[in-house]
Amino acid sequence: MNGKVDKPMIELCNISKRFIKKLDIVAKMVSKLGFSISEEVVHALDNINLKVYKGEVVGIAGESGCGKSTLGRIVAGVLEPSEGKIFYNGHDLKSLDQNESKRVAIQIQMIFQDPFSSLNPRMKVREIIGEAPIVHGIIKSTELDQYLNNLMPICGLKPSYKNRYPHQFSGGQRQRIAIARSLAVNPEFIVCDEVVSALDVSIQAQILNMFMEHRRKFGFASLFISHDLSVIEHVSDRVIIMYLGRIVEEATTENLFKRPLHPYTQALFDEIPSFKKRHINFSPIKGEVPSPFLPPSGCHFHPRCSKKMEICRKEEPKTIIVDTDRLVKCHLF
Amino acid sequence: MIFTDKELVVDGLKTYFDTRAGLVKAVDEVSFKLSSGKILGLVGESGSGKSVTGLSVMGLVDPPGFVVDGKIIYQNEDILSLTDKELRRFRGAHIAMIFQDAMMSLNPVLRIDTQMVETLKAHQNISHRAALSQAAEALTQVGIPDPQRRLKSYPHQFSGGMRQRVAIAIAMLNDPAFIIADEPTTAIDVTIQTQILYEIQKLCSQKGTGLLWITHDLTVVAGLADEVAVMYAGKIVEQGSVDNVLDRPLHPYTTGLIKSVPAHNRRGQPLNSIQGMAPSLVDLPPGCSFRERCPRANGLCLEDPMFSTPLPEHNVRCHHPHTEHGGVE
């Protein structure tokens, strides 16, 4: 983990991502007339530093709008960061030539939340799973059938399904197809964005079991994004808690769930429903996640924090290393 | 708080859908009882019939769906025998419903105040001004700050959690005796979910409203409900107090559901998932519909299991209930 000597497989350095809402034509004209109208900017990610080592599963948790999906998409190469660098096995992704970056691109796969929109409805399962390995020369097109016969059963799909279309499957089976598609190119790294959120509990358990079995078998590393903290705890080696585009705490799963440090993490953990918590009197954190258009000054969490101090409103807290291997971004430490 | 005890008794409810593919028994002989100030959790996975149960109680099932049998008794009256006009007067005043997606249940082109005043005037003879002040009060009760200003907003100007609060406020407007809540926190973050649960719990205990909480999430039911009913393929398969059902589940399906949820002390270990998936409800064959996925199934399960009460006040519909074990570890 953080004390490890080997090089990280993926390293993000000072990654920021801003989404800008461009001015419409009226606003442009008005601003030409000398009125000051500025573009609206969302700081989806603010100075993110993150390392993921070989074979490691890093869980990312946070509420909607905290930037966890944006982070996943940037790592998967779907989005470009506005600032900062991404290193893959020590190489800056920007410095690679076209062939090299193609090779890197297939090493990093992504599985999406909604298996109803992530699979092309006009393609058969054989094309969905087989397209990438053929295009990238991993297999010849004549070997596809054999390849699918091996791959589909380990994802819990009957090889006879390969000539069906996505609409002929249930949500759980579609997610299995999406997983098979990502495994088809033998990736080193898989970004999982809320992969079990849309599934029923019993199906969710099947998919989580399959994910963990494949991880042991194939040894890929993963960024596992979920708003469900019990799922995160179950699959991750290390966990990152995000709030409004910033990482507020990072620790090994065991340490984090044993002793959360950041007031936000503590509040989140208090609210995880569980079988053990019966007939409780709910006591919520006050307020909602503020709009990312207008994040609060200083520490973003201060308006909702039970331990806020004068300084929290004025200054952004620094990221502090605690107990040698955990990071926390809070003025209390 | 003093409130008069009321009951809503659902007895042998059957709601079938006559589709082109065949007869779908979405709700098949469902019985339960709601009492004032108590919360019943109705738990099931997609397609188990839990939402249709809620809609049937409200008289909101559209063709090709029909309530074919059963009784819904509220204050010595069978709701199913009411005419459309009587039903319209009854709905909202005595039983209200909260839906999963408040964006869909609120009218997007009307301001919140219009929608709230409309709800009040439909059931009470009340002046516009009095209705407005009652609406503002309702918004305050569900924790919406600055209600006077917020009344003038449109639904899209609220966040998801706030919209759900508005839906709750509207449901509570006419002081219904019972509320049916269909997955109102499903698409919502955990912190906002806790806020909603807090408001609901407060309102139920203060006003003595009885609540049917329909959800797929057993862990929320553990914290919120007094009693729980587990549905599978249109039938209630297990029913009892939350403590009994979660600590000593009798039905193999309930056991499977509980074990499917990642637990704190079993990190990284395989979850005991239930094999296979829920059967299609079209022309479901007779017998226990869980038998294909059940580790305990045998020849006996080809026959429909009856409801039995192997433990006091703890019902189960199974030929081989887990009466022997000491609980889920």
- Interface confidence, given as ipTM, is 0.81
Q: Is the same domain home to B49 and B191?
A: yes
In chain A, where the domains are located? 10-291
Contacts for A143 with CB less than 8 Å, ≥ 6 apart: none
Residue B37 lies in a domain: yes
Higher pLDDT, A115 or B16: B16
Partner-chain contact B197 A282, CB within 8 Å: yes
**Domain for residue B51, yes or no?**
yes
Q: Would you say residue B254 lies in a domain? A: yes
Whether residue B218 sits in one domain with residue B188: yes
Do the chains contact at A274 and B270, CB–CB below 8 Å? Answer: no
* B202-239 tens-digit pLDDT: 888 888 899 999 998 888 999 899 999 999 999 999 99
Whether residue B136 is contained in a domain is answered as: yes
User: Which pLDDT belongs to residue B195?
Assistant: 85
Residue B100 falls inside a structural domain: no
3-state secondary structure chain B: CCCCCCEEEEEEEEEEEEECCEEEEEEEEEEEEEECCCEEEEECCCCCCHHHHHHHHHCCCCCCEEEEEEEEEECCEEHHHCCHHHHHHHECCCEEEECCCHHHHCCCCCCHHHHHHHHHHHHCCCCHHHHHHHHHHHHHHCCCCCHHHHCCCCHHHCCHHHHHHHHHHHHHCCCCCEEEEECCCCCCCHHHHHHHHHHHHHHHHHHCCEEEEEECCHHHHHHHCCEEEEEECCEEEEEEEHHHHHHCCCCHHHHHHHHHCCCCCCCCCCCCCCCCCCCCCECCCCCCCCHHHCCCCCHHHHCCCCEEEEECCEEEECCCCCCCCCCCC
B175, B204, B232 - which closes a domain: B175
Q: B102 lies in a domain?
A: no
**Which residues, given as ranges, of chain B have pLDDT below 70?**
1-4, 325-329
Partner B contacted by A38 (CB < 8 A): no
Whether residues B265 and B251 fall in one domain: yes
| Cβ within 8 Å, pair B261-A283 | no
pLDDT value for A193 = 92
- State whether B181 and B165 are in the same domain: no
pLDDT, tens digit (0-9, with 9 covering 90-100), for B250-297: 999 999 999 888 887 778 888 888 888 788 888 787 889 898 888 888
Inter-chain touch A234–B193, beta carbons under 8 Å? no
What pLDDT does residue A5 have?
57
Residue A277 reports pLDDT greater than 90: no
B62 and B211 inside one domain: yes
Residue B73 sits in the same domain as residue B130: no
Q: How confident is the model at residue A201 (pLDDT cuts 50, 70, 90)?
A: confident
Residues B60 and B204 placed together within one structural domain of the fold: yes
B191 → closest Cβ in A231, A271, A274: A271
Supply the pLDDT for residue B325.
58
Tell me: do B62 and B116 sit in the same domain: no
Q: What is the span of the domain harbouring residue B78?
A: 7-94+176-317
CATH number reported for the structural domain that contains residue B310 in this entry: 3.40.50.300
Closest-CA residue to B14 (of B67, B53, B51): B67
Among B175, B191, B206, the domain boundary falls at B175
Nearest to A205 among B189, B193, B273 (CB): B273
Whether B248 maps to a domain, the answer reads yes
Residues of B (253-272) whose Cβ lies below 8 Å from A: 256-264, 266-268, 270-272
Q: How far apart are CA B217 and CA B221, in angstroms?
A: 7
Query: B216 in a domain, yes or no?
Result: yes
Based on the fold, state whether residues B211 and B77 are members of the same structural domain: yes
Task: Report the domain count for chain B.
Answer: 2
CATH of domain A10-291: 3.40.50.300
For A200, the closest of B46, B197, B270 (CB atoms) is B46
The pLDDT of residue B46: 84
